[in-house]
Structure formats: structure tokens, C-alpha cells
Amino acid sequence: MKKKCLTLLLIVPLFSIAQEQIIKTMIYNGDSREYIVYVPEGCNNGLACPLLFNFHGGSGYANYFIQTNDMRPIADTSNFIAVYPQGAYDYDALEDGQDSSEATTSWIHKAPTDHDDIYFIEAIIDALSTEYLIDANRIYACGYSEGAIFSYELGCRLNNRIAAFAAVSGSMLSDYYRTNIYEWDGCFPTHPTAMMLIPGTIDQNPHSNYDGFSYLDMSLYMSANDITTFWSNHNNTDINAIITIVEDSYPNDGSTVERKSWLNGDNCTSVQELKVIGGDHDWPGSSGNMDISATNEIWNFVSKYDINGLIDCNTASSYEINMNNDNNLIKVTDLLGRDAKELKNAPLFYHYDNGKVIKKILLY
């Protein structure tokens, strides 16, 4: 059920008018809820900008997570609005003898509960759309730990608003857990949806274990393999993944990374897993593995897509590419997100300074 909300307050900007970081407050479902919004200079100049939601883990706080997963420098060059919502305190999870001061923040409250924050996120989207020029076809989500689980829920149950998403060190609820325990709708995405997951193979947390987690004979959290199978099937990608080994540029971090990509999905969508072999419950690039930056990987991946699939899924000629002089080209990458030079008859992604990412094939 959707909840009524009211945006109350815009709290002091932290930067100049050119770029601003704002703490916004909304009354949602009777509670005062906060979210941090970072607006780069380009999004204050009449440019329709994407939104990227970033969700902290359980017991976490938005103002700390923005330091771990700092999208602001990327937003400055790619022109998107970064949003860091704050999870609500879960008072129903308190044990006997605990008082309210011991409650922790959470996106997925202890069941049974009527707390369902996907509609809080929808309310934020609607509120920001009245304040800024938002590209409604390019709204993305990513999260860590419980924030990753919540990102899956947005990909599943707010799919009509989410173009693509990514999950780091957090699993996806099983259908049994979602529908029987929480009594939420099942995971039925309405459009081809590109997604990325970054799991660690030695993460022993029940909600982020690489092999999933069951209680007795009841599956609660899906394994990484089951997750990629679910989304690959939904997107109708190639059955077999393309696997590449990421350069082990930090051999002393105790882990390596394997990139697995399921390509050629409907509307040119894909599924990508950055499997951190030897990785724990971390945010790569900030903790644990240092061969990749989860922050950079996420934006490089999701930004290629809009609500309809891969941006400019149809190929274009070199003439059309050369005519695209309205914006400055930042970089060119291949299907796996690697920097690439222009190659004939090969799909490449052109990243522009207005945040647009266009797939092109040079035809000679």
C-alpha cells in the first residue's frame, strides 16, 4: 500500500549554488524521514538528469555511506543527481529488555511488518521531480548489504520506475521469504532490466552468503548463481556468460575478481557479476578488494541503460557518430566496461559529459 507523504524542509546547502549537497526531510507514513541529495552544477542548468539512489547497510547511516560510496566526483563529470536516503529505525526488532535507544536502522524491517520502503523511494522520486528536471527514464539504484537486498526489491517491485540497479555484498530475497513471510508481491519485473551484483565468495553473513541461505528446508536468501539465473532468464540473455579475469593490481588484498557477463538480452540488456574470489562483506575499492572500485563499476554499468533497455540499442553508422557534436565525449568503453579505442564493426559505448551513454558500431 502506498503511503501519504509531505516534503517539509530543505536544509542548508553545503556548497555554492553551482553544486549543492542538501539534506531533505519528508513526512512519510507519519514519520520524519531524511535523504541526502547531491546536485552537480550541470543539473542546475536546465539539463534533464538521471537519479542514482545509494542505500546504506543495516544499522547504517546515509552520511557515513556517502563517504564509502562517494558518487559525487562521478556525478560532477557525468551529470546525475546522487541520492542517499536514510533507513528508518526498526523498533519491532528490539528484544525484551531493550529500550528504544538501542533500535537500529533498517530497510527490511523484522517480519511481520507493514513497513515497506519501496514507496518511500517512490515518494522521493516524485518529490525530486517537482524540484529538478529529472530524466524519468534513467532512475537507478544501488546498495550495500541490506541496502543491496533493498535494491533487489526496487528492481523487483518498483520496476516501473527503476531502469537498472546494482547490489554489493547483499543477496536477493527468495520468493518464499518475500511472499510468505513478508506478504509482499512476488518479483515480477515489467521490463528488461540490466543488473549488476558484486558478491564476495567468503562472505558468511546469512543475507549475503555466496551460496545463499536456508532455514531448515526453507530458502530465505538466493545464491549468486540463482540470482544471475533469475535475471538472465528474465532478460532473455545468452545462456552462457563471458568470463574475464580482472587484473590483480593489488595482490596483497587477499582477493581477485572474475567478471561474468550475460549479454544480448531483450532490448540489449545484460547481467553482470563481479565475483570477488576471497572477498568478504566489503565495498570493493573502499574495503577488501582494491582491484576494482564498486562505485565506478556501478555507474559505468547502469548508466548505459534507460527504462527501455540499452540506450540507443540500435546500431549507428560512423556518420551518425561523427554528427553527435552537441556534447563532449569523455571516454569510450567496450561491452565489459573496459576503456577501448574505436574499432570497426564492434559495439562500443560512448560516454558524454551530459551523462548520456550511447552504444555505437562503426560501420565501414
Asked if residue 122 lies in contact with residue 35, where contact means CB atoms within 8 angstroms, the answer is: no
Across the chain, which has 364 residues, the per-10-residue mean pLDDT values are 49 57 95 97 90 97 98 97 96 89 94 94 98 97 98 98 98 96 96 98 97 93 98 96 95 97 96 98 97 97 97 60 51 74 64 64 49
Alpha-carbon distance of 199 to 303, in angstroms, equals 20
The amino acid present at 325, given as its one-letter code, is N
Q: Does pTM top 0.75 for this prediction?
A: yes
Neighbouring-strand partners of residue 134? 49
Question: Residue 183: its pLDDT value, please?
Answer: 95
Alpha-carbon distance of 361 to 346, in angstroms, equals 5
* Signed CA dihedral, 135, 40, 330, 242: sign only: negative
Q: At what angle do helices 146-157 and 118-131 cross, to 10 degrees?
A: 80
Question: Residue 16: its pLDDT value, please?
Answer: 43
CATH 3.40.50.1820 region(s) of the chain? 5-91+102-311
CA 277 from centroid of its chain's CA atoms: 21
Query: What are the pLDDT digits (tens) for 80-131?
Result: 999 999 999 999 898 888 998 999 999 999 999 999 999 999 999 999 999 9
Architecture category of domain 5-91+102-311 in CATH: 3-Layer(aba) Sandwich (3.40)
DSSP 328-352: -EEEEE-TTS-B----BTSEEEEEE
Cβ partners under 8 Å of residue 231, min gap 6: 193, 195, 271
Question: Residue 321: its pLDDT value, please?
Answer: 36
Query: What are the pLDDT digits (tens) for 2-31?
Result: 555 554 444 444 444 578 999 999 999 999
In whole angstroms, how large is the CA radius of gyration of the chain?
20
Alpha-carbon distance of 341 to 332, in angstroms, equals 7
